[in-house]
Amino acid sequence: MKIVFGSDEKNHLTDFVISELKKKDHELVLHGPIAGEEIGWTDVAMIVAERVASGESDQGIVCCWTGTGVSIAANKVPGIRAALCADAETASGARKWNNANILAMSLRTTSNALAGEILEAWFDSVPEDSEEENINKVNEIEKKYSK
């Protein structure tokens, strides 16, 4: 799977996420300080979201200090359903029930052990067909307000 990963800083979490994704043989595209780029959280979120929305990448991961800013910014790009996940159950639910396509995590509060659980839940969960109607409604809301 092709994953685009962006963060506004490099730390233990970003190093761990990169290592885990490589172990799972995902193809990685990196943005922000983890790729040697000096850009802020809004730009990181926009770049990641645009790559996912365009189909250049299958899924995205974004990180900032709280995870909130990158999730808000990413969700401004049409077609993006970014979910801020602080635990594995939220990550699994975001994929199953919301067909989330970008995982957002906090650089401050996410330990490596927790990140491992979140990544496993995210990539092991698939969207449920029973939620298709709700996802379509979300898409209609997006269309209504993007005019």
Q: For residue 6, is pLDDT > 90?
A: yes
Q: Is the dihedral of CA 70, 30, 97, 53 positive or negative?
A: positive
Q: pLDDT tens, 75-133? A: 999 999 999 999 999 999 999 999 999 999 999 999 999 999 999 999 999 999 999 99
The pLDDT-based confidence of 146 (bands split at 50, 70, 90) is confident
Residue 136: count of CB within 10 angstroms of its CB: 10
Q: pLDDT tens, 76-90? A: 999 999 999 999 999
- Contact status, residue 81 vs residue 100, Cβ threshold 8 Å: yes
Quote the Cα angle for 132-136-139, to 5°: 145
Distance CA 47, CA 130 (A): 31
- Please indicate whether residue 63 is annotated as part of the active site: no
**Catalytic residue among 3, 21, 44, 64, which?**
64
Fold classified for 2-145? Ribose 5-phosphate Isomerase B; Chain: A, (3.40.1400)
- Contact status, residue 143 vs residue 123, Cβ threshold 8 Å: no
- Contact status, residue 146 vs residue 114, Cβ threshold 8 Å: no
Place of tokens 């506004």: 8
Q: In the sheet where 27-31 sits, what is the strand order? A: 27-31, 2-7, 59-64, 102-106, 82-84
Distance CA 85, CA 73 (A): 15
- C-alpha to C-alpha distances, 69 to 15, 35, 103, 131, nearest whole angstrom: 20, 20, 13, 27
Give me the residue spans of the domains in the chain.
Answer: 2-145
Q: For residue 22, is pLDDT > 80?
A: yes
